[in-house]
Amino acid sequence: MEKSFEPAQIESKWYERWEASGAFQPSGKGEPYCILLPPPNVTGTLHMGHAFQQTVMDMLARYQRMRGMNTLWQVGTDHAGIATQKIVENQLAVEDRTRHDLGREAFVERVWKWKEESGSTITNQMRRIGAAADWSRERFTMDEGLSAAVRKVFIDWYRAGLIYRGNRLVNWDPVLGTAVSDLEVNNVERDGHMWSIRYPVVGSDESVVVATTRPETMLGDVAVAVHPEDERYAHLVGKTLKLPLTDREIPVIADDYVDKDFGTGCVKITPAHDFNDYAIGQRHKLAPITIFTLAAKVNDNAPEKYRGLDRYDARKRVLADLEAAGLLVETKPHKLQVPVSDRSDAVIEPMLTDQWFVDLTSDVQTDGRPGGRQAITLPALDAVRSGEIKFVPENWATTYTQWLDNIQDWCISRQLWWGHRIPAWYDEAGNIFVGEDEADARANATTTPVGTLRQDDDVLDTWFSSALWPFSTMGWPANGPVKNERGEVVANWEQDKIFLPSAVLVTGFDIIFFWVARMVMATKYFTGQIPFREVYINAIVRDAEGQKMSKSKGNTLDPLDLIDGIELEPLVAKSTRSLLLPQVREKVEKRIRKDYPNGIPSIGTDALRFTFAALASYSRTINFDIKRAEGYKAFCNKLWNAARFALSNIGDRAEPAQGIPQPTLEVNRWILTRVKQMLIEVEQHFTSYRFDHVAQTLYEFTWNELCDWYLELIKPVFRGKSDDADTLTTIDSKAIAETEHTLLYVLETVLRALHPITPFITEEIWQWVAPKLALSESSLMQRPWPRADEIVADDAATAEIEWFKNVLSGIRRIRSEMNISPAKTIPLLFADGDASDRQRANKFNPAIEFLARVTPTPTPHSTQAISPPSIDPPSFIPSPSVSRWIEPNTQEPASAAAVVGSMRVLIPLAGLIDLGAEKTRLAKEISRIEVEIKKCEGKLGNANFVANAPPEVVTQERQRITDWNTTVTALREQAQKLG
RNA sequence: GGGUGCUUAGCUCAGCGGUAGAGCGUCGCCCUUACAAGGCGGUGGUCGUAGGUUCGAUCCCUACAGCACCCACCA
């Protein structure tokens, strides 16, 4: 093995070997366990959020696979309608062309070409994270198989009356030229104005004043509304107003939507460009007047002078004209929420257009069939309410159910070219025909088509196909095997439906509505099953200061840069490349030079994954700090070196050790006990998705138990090995053999337990370890998860080792506090204590001498052969009887002391220790314990405590006070001896 | 307006009814033959505020304050 851990050297080889071995595919044996990858946008590149989420999925998949589950991690990518179309349109823009220059067919072909060339960026990056996903089943939402599912779902829902086409007010993105769903609109606070405009009453000197943030929409006003109980305006209801700047007259209507106390209490009503106004217009049967084109320019319904103006130019003109007419009463600054398109940042314009909708709100259809609420929404709601689907952390269930309780119909048509084209045709009379293709649509027609049929130009919302992911990827609705474009079988519903429901969905809270809810709806409806049993909502990754990562802030991190490391200059270059504004570029560059003066060090995949695991508590954000990742790289190095230590001490065994060790030495029995506890905890934490605790448990075991203690404690055993083999007694070689076996077993077990988090380093080390244990598997990936119940715990051995650790810690503390060099050998004596202390001191003497650098006891017969030990079972190595013990009532040298139970561990002061400093140290220790004793006495002196607290708590408290008293007595005695 | 979180050591976070923990940082001593990406030891917290429940509250309840995020919004 190399001297230190070099991730780059070992990561490159293992992934390909694993994948080639078929280890990523379902074994076909055991209980099905499926994880669905939220298909990333095919346009995407891996960011920290992906890396985190995928690490979580990979840990689960690897863990369950080792546990013997028939594990499928289903992967694929999403066609991402708008995002992908935009990329290719941007390419065309460079050539000074638009998609319309190419025409639909050629454009779509070009997008496909782009997808073939660039669409696997993100999946290749996933491989660098170590994702053990089944790539042989990789799917794309526009695969033929998945497209067939989309068509069937659309047609079935249409025929069930659950999809309808309607002329409705929708969120229109005038830049992208398409409708978007409610979810794709963000409300952004902007500084604007509130304008008050006077509308004269026809045939009167009176007038009303309305307030608006969008004065240009007055051109489309159809009424002014007041509250029905507003006495100020009661006499005007039913009267007519002169709509300024136009030749139209509009009524005053009464509607209790109006808030009497807001503004003037009068609201202008523009049903064609405002959702609330639309509802009011419907209630009062007022025909909406659309005044904008789809590009948000004023149309021919407005007076001529405004036509063709962009909505913001129109606003200026309208205001100027109102001002000139003396009808602009007031202008004041006003903060308002502006609806902005998620994809283009364009301000959304509500527009009346023909669109397709999924009914999610009606209870019963006019013909008596169940409406969308009954058929789709409520089953999705019940799946979570009933607990059939569980959210982790569970409070997200509230978010889910509240959204479904207030859901609107889902606008599924998009005026794009890239996507699943809607399987609907229109005849020349405007009748609708839906089917797999034109022939099928005709065959299923209920009316005779008039003239030729023309297919709907629109495509479906990207999320429509994502909603089907849990069953479309399993081969639904085909009867037999589904093949990809290369002719390989990727799914077969008859076999693969065992993976439905999947075990857990790992995803971000931001797509609970977009995706999670819709998968439940569609999967429930079409398969009768839930799509997944649990939904683990992962945290959002922020920077070290808790700020959102964004390119314009310059605080993003590329997971691959963390893995590979990157020099400062290339980092600056790549971080500023896509930034357009010079001042932003400058700011970002400055920040990067400040944050990473030396670039980013290479952390390696394993350390990055360990960091993600360690951060994955139930908190909803995690702050990623490179410092932390560097700490976990150190952990990897620690593990690496522990393995080197083990392997170099064991050397080439003639015969490999096999099976689970049954050692007799306490130190070995103790570490096995600790391994058992560690495994039990790790399993619990996996079950509850507490990856932070999984990581912490493994970290602490590996570092604080295995490395800090076990490896140190067995050094005295192995020290015997370096001696001439002839001088070893039988017991020595037995002790060495069982220790080697235990060490190998423990190391191999911890490698298995760590493998889900750090697959690369564990595999690499395992390859060195496996031959020495005669393991038949060729890869750690094939090893079973270590079972805690195979290991026997030994509490007695644990008590022995705890005693020993206390003695050693006591000596170390004295050394440190008294400034005795760790290299200096010191004398050691024991006093007081009981019989078991004597026995233990005797037994552990050689280990104490070795590990605490203690002067060996002069043994009268040191030249003679070592006598057989009187203790059974043998300890580290057999020990001659020692003469460290100070008998009662004998003179003892002035010493520094540590107390273990009732025993005093003494280091004689002569020449080593400052008497005054030792007195101070003792006094401090005594007063600390006295405080504890006071606390205990306070509790036990309280009759209510003794009467009401659980008996075991009272017992525990009594035990504590006894222990403290023992310790403090010994300390006081020591203090007194020092004078 | 409705909802959901968070507030614990200098920083980032666990803990959650019965002795306040980790990592990083910091301080001291050590290049001790697995590891200086290391070892050993130390420092550091009246657990946001105020009440309540309880024998006992960082933990449960109530109110308040501050900070986030989500949803819906008054023209």
Please give the average per-residue pLDDT across A37-48, as a whole number.
Answer: 92
Q: Give the nucleotide at minimum CA-to-C1' distance from A816.
A: B41
Average pLDDT over residues A243-263: 90
CA of A395: nearest nucleotide by C1' is B4
Closest nucleotide relative to residue A4's CA, C1' based = B35
Residue A381 reports pLDDT greater than 60: yes
Q: What angle do CA A810, A815, A817 make, to 5 degrees?
A: 95
A670 touches A792 (CB < 8 A): no
Residue type, A80: A
Residue type, A516: V
Residue A512 has what DSSP assignment?
I
My answer on whether omega of the bond before A656 falls inside 30° of 0, hence cis, is no
Question: Is the pLDDT reported for residue A261 higher than 90?
Answer: no
Residue-wise pLDDT tens digits, A436-467: 999 999 999 889 999 899 999 999 999 999 99
Q: Is the CB of A711 under 7 A from strand B?
A: yes
**Average pLDDT for chain A:** 90
Whether the beta carbon of A943 falls within 7 A of nucleic chain B: the reply is no
A276 strand B contact, CB < 7 Å? yes
Cβ A823 to strand B below 7 Å: yes
The nt closest to A708 (CA vs C1′) is: B39
What residue has its CA nearest to the C1' of B56?
A945
Please name the nucleotide lying closest to A711, CA to C1'.
B34
Q: Does residue A847 surpass a pLDDT of 70?
A: yes
Question: What pLDDT does residue A730 have?
Answer: 53
- A636: CB within 7 A of chain B nucleic strand: yes
For the beta sheet containing A185-200, the strands, ordered from the edge strand earlier in sequence to the opposite edge, are A207-212, A185-200, A328-341
pLDDT at residue A475 in the model:
95
Looking at this predicted complex, what is its ipTM? 0.96
Selected residue with higher pLDDT from A915 and A138: A138
Rounded distance in angstroms from the CA atom of residue A621 to the C1' atom of nucleotide B68 = 10
The reported pLDDT for the residue numbered A873 is 36
- Å between CA of A748 and C1' of B22: 26
Shortest-distance nucleotide from A805 CA to C1' = B40
Question: A111-149: string of b/e by CB count within 10 Å (b at 16+)?
Answer: bbebbeeebebbbebbebbbbbbbbebbbbbbbebbbbb
Both tokens assigned to A661: 């060790």
> What's the pLDDT score for residue A858?
54
Q: Which of residues 4 to 43 on A have a Cβ less than 7 angstroms from any strand B atom?
A: 4-6
A887-914 pLDDT, tens digit each: 888 888 888 889 998 899 998 877 777 7
The backbone torsions φ and ψ at residue A490, rounded to the nearest 5 degrees and listed phi first, read -110, -15
Find the residue closest to B36 using CA and C1' atoms. Answer: A634
Provide, in whole angstroms, the distance separating residue A307's CA from nucleotide B13's C1': 60
Using alpha carbons, select from A544, A770, A543, A773 the residue that is nearest to residue A658.
A773
Query: What does the alpha-carbon distance between residue A37 and residue A901 come to, in Å, rounded to a whole number?
Result: 55
CB of A65 lies under 7 Å from some atom of strand B: no
Distance in Å, residue A646 CA to nucleotide B57 C1': 48
Distance A931 CA to B46 C1' (A): 16
DSSP state of A894: -
Mean pLDDT of A331-355: 91
Q: Is the minimum distance from the CB of A633 to strand B below 7 Å?
A: yes
Q: Once rounded to an integer, what is the mean pLDDT over residues A163-183? A: 93
A751 CB-near residues (< 8 Å, 6+ apart): A762, A765, A766, A769, A780
A628 CB below 7 A from strand B atoms: yes
Judging by beta carbons within 10 Å of its beta carbon (0-12, 13-18, 19+), is residue A675 exposed, middle or buried?
Answer: buried
CA of A853: nucleotide with nearest C1': B32
For A744-787, how does the pLDDT look when each residue is reduced to its tens digit (9 = 90+)?
999 999 999 999 999 999 999 999 999 999 999 999 999 999 99
> Residues A876, A883: contact at Cβ < 8 Å?
no
Question: What would the DSSP string read from start to end of A407-433?
Answer: ---EE-EES-SSS-B--EEE-TT--EE
Query: Does pLDDT of A28 surpass 90?
Result: yes
Q: What is the pLDDT of residues A6-26, one digit of tens each?
A: 898 889 899 999 999 999 999
Rounded average pLDDT over A629-633:
91
A401 CB inside 7 Å of strand B:
no
Measure A756 CA to B25 C1' (Å).
Answer: 30
Distance (Å) from CA A406 to C1' B3?
A: 13
A263: Cβ under 7 Å from strand B? Answer: yes
If residue A576 lies in a helix (H) or strand (E), which one and from where to where?
Answer: helix A568-576
Residue labelled with tokens 């829902």: A157
Per the structure, the residues numbered 327 to 346 in protein chain A that have their CB within 7 angstroms of any atom of strand B are 336-337
First to last CA, chain A: 56
Residue in this structure with the two tokens 């992208």, named with its chain if needed: A176
Q: Distance (Å) from CA A333 to C1' B73?
A: 19
Say what the pLDDT of residue A878 is: 42
- What is the DSSP-derived secondary structure letter of residue A573? H
> Model confidence at A427, in pLDDT bands (50, 70, 90)?
very high
**Residue A729 banded pLDDT, cuts 50, 70, 90:** low
- 8 A C-beta contact, residue A490 and residue A484: yes
CA A395 to C1' B63, in angstroms, rounded, equals 23
Task: Give A913's Cβ-side CA count (13 Å radius).
Answer: 27
Between strands A134-140 and A540-542, the pairing is unpaired
Query: Which residue in A183, A192, A76, A189 sits closest to A126, CA to CA?
Result: A76
CA of A901 to C1' of B21 (A): 24
Indicate yes or no: strand B within 7 A of the C-beta of A373.
no
Mean pLDDT across A712-721 = 80
pLDDT in tens, A393-415: 998 999 999 999 999 999 999 99
A297 CB neighbours strand B below 7 A? no
User: DSSP of A721-788, one letter per residue?
Assistant: HHS-GGG--HHHHHHHHHHHHHHHHHHHHHHHHHTTT-HHHHHHHHHHHGGGGT---SSGGGSPPPPG
Angle between helices A691-700 and A666-687 (to 10 degrees): 170
Strand B nucleotides, any atom under 7 Å to a protein CB: 3-6, 12-15, 18-19, 22-25, 28-32, 34-35, 37-42, 54-56, 68-75
Residue A312: pLDDT over 90: yes
Residue A89 CA neighbour count, 13 Å, CB half: 16
- Cβ of A712 near strand B (under 7 Å)? The reply is yes
In the structure, how far is the CA atom of residue A434 from the C1' atom of nucleotide B72, in angstroms? Answer: 36
The pLDDT confidence band at residue A720, using thresholds 50, 70 and 90, is low
Give A646-654 contacts, CB < 8 A, sequence gap 24+: A646/A711, A646/A743, A646/A744, A646/A747, A646/A769, A647/A1, A647/A768, A647/A769, A647/A772, A649/A718, A649/A721, A649/A740, A649/A743, A650/A740, A650/A743, A650/A744, A650/A772, A653/A740, A653/A772
CA Rg value for chain A: 38
Closest-lying nucleotide for A812 based on CA to C1'? B40
The CA distance from A761 to A759, in Å, is 6
pLDDT at A721: 55
Rounded Cα distance, A814 and A821, in Å: 11
| CA atoms within 13 Å, Cβ hemisphere of A396 | 24
Per-residue confidence at A934, pLDDT binned at 50, 70, 90?
confident
* pLDDT level of residue A126 (50, 70, 90 thresholds): very high
How many residues can be counted in chain A?
A: 979
Which pLDDT score, from 0 to 100, does residue A564 have?
A: 92
User: For A618 and B47, how far is CA from C1' in angstroms?
Assistant: 19
Q: Residue A546's pLDDT is what?
A: 77
pLDDT-derived band of residue A731, with 50, 70 and 90 as boundaries?
low
Instruction: State the nearest residue by CA to the C1' of B17.
Output: A949
User: Which residues of A in 497-526 have their CB below 7 Å from strand B's atoms?
Assistant: 510, 513
Q: What is the pLDDT of residue A587?
A: 87
Q: Indicate yes or no: strand B within 7 A of the C-beta of A945.
A: yes
Is there contact between A950 and strand B, defined as CB under 7 Å from any strand atom?
yes
